[in-house]
Amino acid sequence: MKEYELTVLIHPDLETDLEAPLEKVRKLVKDNGGRVVSEDNWGKKKLAYRIKGEDFAVYVYMDVELPAEALLKLSNTLNITDEVLRYLLVKVDEKGRALLAEAKERASEETEEDSEE
């Protein structure tokens, strides 16, 4: 299984009961042989342009592991799911992730050195 990043834009009217549409997305990933590694709710944000007549959406980011054959099924189902305005599913860039972790480590070392002085 490969790692992917899934960002889902949920309809803003569902902000009060966000667990139901998120559970639907989680179940979709699980039913297609994958698993949700981590999840981060970014909250309600203004969209750059209107999508399906909406100016706002609730952004939810997920790290998921999926088999290759599940991508098409997941995409087709998310396209027709009413709660989901848009989604973005991309493969994780391992080199980019390693560079980002290295940069964070370097930054934390520099702040530790500054605090010791």
For residues 65 and 111, the model is more confident at 65
Read off the pLDDT band of 90 (50, 70, 90). Answer: very high
Q: Residue 97: which CATH number? A: 3.30.70.60
**pTM higher than 0.85 for the full model?**
no
Residue 36: in which H helix or E strand, if any? strand 35-51
Q: How confident is the model at residue 103 (pLDDT cuts 50, 70, 90)?
A: confident
Contacts of 1 (CB under 8 A, 6+ apart): 33, 34, 65, 66, 67
Q: Smallest Cα–Cα separation from 60: which of 85, 81, 97?
A: 85
The pLDDT mean for the chain works out to 89
Expressed as residue numbers, the domain containing 14 is 2-116
Beta-bridge mates of residue 58:
10, 44
**What is the chain's percent helix, strand, coil content, to nearest 5?**
40, 40, 20
Domain count, the chain: 1
Rounded-to-integer distance, Cα 67 and Cα 72, Å: 10
- Percent of the chain past pLDDT 70, that is, above it, reads 96
pLDDT digits (tens, 9 = 90+) for 19-67: 999 999 999 999 999 999 999 999 999 999 999 999 999 999 999 999 9
